Amino acid sequence: MLKHSLRGALVASLVASLLSAPVAAQELTGTLKKIKETGAISLGHRESSIPFSYYDDKQQVIGYSHELMLKVVDALKAELKLAKLDIRLLPVTSANRITLVQNGSVDLECGSTTNNTERQKQVSFSNTIFVIGTRLMTKTNSGINDFPDLAGKNVVTTAGTTSERLLRKMNEDKQMKMSIISAKDHGESFLTLETGRAVAFMMDDALLFGEMAKAKRASDWVVVGTPQSYEAYGCMLRKDDPAFKKVVDNALAKVMTSGEAEKIYAKWFLQPIPPKGLNLNFPLSTAVQTIYKSPNDKAFD
């Protein structure tokens, strides 16, 4: 009896040591090593990408992407067996996000960053967390229904986005004689639209609904037009760090396939959200459903 339980304990401890062995024995490298050694992770977030990553009225970072990023942090904590993992939050902009990831200021950035092949030369992307289409926001009574209606008009978009690129290309290719205003962030783009400087604002559809949620009267605005492109949002991390990427990807895949992601989606896109308690009413698209079912890190371009 005693012998048996002894042997049982021995086997159990052997199994336990075998199970934990891969983590203990394998030398940690790159970002995982840095996190383990410093007990801290530096996260990049956006300031006005509603509802992905933005400040609420108490200046706390919230949003769909941010919540997913915190899930990844939980997974990292478990993976590295850390009792405590300090989170350092660093606001990033469209213009500086790639540099900050590269130079080590930011370990992981989940916001509204499109995964494309150009950026893949500099940074690495996690599993896709969202899929958007690029469309237009305009005043309800502006008479703008689709992109051809923009010919000869002032149109605003945010600097450094794929929309800016598409709009300029469209202007060249179709000789539309649009005047394109590039504002520095989504908030300023909307201000440009709201003050009548531009008749339409081209941007990722989810962000357009997000801007609507901030407007004085949401019913004054509509999102129209055929999507000009579909884009995959991913979390950015440093290139050539497969161990870290694997942990991030697995954490995201687990959230997506377990159905948890759908709940997070519903919280940010189908229920009232801060700051104004507006409901975006942005139904779950088939594209997003597909990435939830089979998570992957493919860019669309």
Partner 1 sequence: MAYNWNWGVFLQPTATGDDSTYLDWMFHGLQMTIGLSLSAWLIALLLGAVVGVLRTVPNRWLSGLATAYVEVFRNIPLLVQLFLWYFVMPELLPEDLGNAFKQSNPIVQQFLSSMVCLALFTSARVAEQVRSGINSLPPGQKNAGLALGFTLPQTYRHVMLPMAVRLIVPPLTSEFLNIFKNSAVCSTIGLLELAAQGRQLVDYTAQPYESFIAVTIAYLLLNVVVMSGMRWVEVHVRVPGYIGGK
| Cβ proximity to partner 1, 14 vs 95, nearer residue | 95
Residue 161 binds to partner 1 (criterion: CB under 8 A): yes
Please tell me the distance from the alpha carbon of residue 166 to that of residue 231, in angstroms, as a whole number: 12
End-to-end Cα, the chain, rounded Å: 66
Stretch that binds partner 1, among 4-12, 37-45, 74-82, 159-167 (CB under 8 A): 159-167
Per-residue interface string for the shown chain with partner 1, residues 88-127, x marking contact by CB under 8 A: ------xx--xx--xxx-------------xx-xx-----
- Bond prior to 22 in cis (omega within 30° of 0): no
Stretch that binds partner 1, among 60-68, 141-149, 162-170, 275-283 (CB under 8 A): 162-170
| Cβ proximity to partner 1, 195 vs 286, nearer residue | 195
Residue 91 tokens, joined: 């606001």
φ/ψ of 238, rounded to 5, equals: -65, 150
Please tell me the distance from the alpha carbon of residue 225 to that of residue 202, in angstroms, as a whole number: 10
| Cβ proximity to partner 1, 65 vs 113, nearer residue | 113
Is there a contact between 114 and 162 (Cβ–Cβ < 8 Å)? yes
Q: Which of 133, 160, 274, 275 is in the footprint of partner 1 by CB under 8 A?
A: 160
Within 127-156, the residues that bind partner 1 by CB under 8 A are 154
Cα separations (Å) of 29 from 21, 121, 203, 284? 16, 21, 38, 38
Q: What is the DSSP letter of 116?
A: -
Within 2-41, the residues that bind partner 1 by CB under 8 A are none
Taking the complex as a whole, how short is the minimal distance between the CB of residue 187 and partner 1, in angstroms? 12
From its phi and psi, is residue 104 left (phi > 0), alpha (psi between -120 and 50) or beta?
left
Is there a contact between 146 and 80 (Cβ–Cβ < 8 Å)? no
Tell me the torsion sign for CA atoms 120, 122, 128, 131. negative
- The radius of gyration computed from the CA coordinates of the chain, to the nearest angstrom, equals 22
Per-residue interface string for the shown chain with partner 1, residues 200-239, x marking contact by CB under 8 A: --------------------------------------xx
| Cβ proximity to partner 1, 159 vs 284, nearer residue | 159
Per rule CB under 8 A, count of chain residues that contact partner 1: 36
| Cβ proximity to partner 1, 12 vs 95, nearer residue | 95
Residues in touch with partner 1 (CB under 8 A): 94-95, 98-99, 102-104, 118-119, 121-122, 154, 159-161, 164-165, 168-169, 171-173, 179-184, 191, 195-198, 238-240
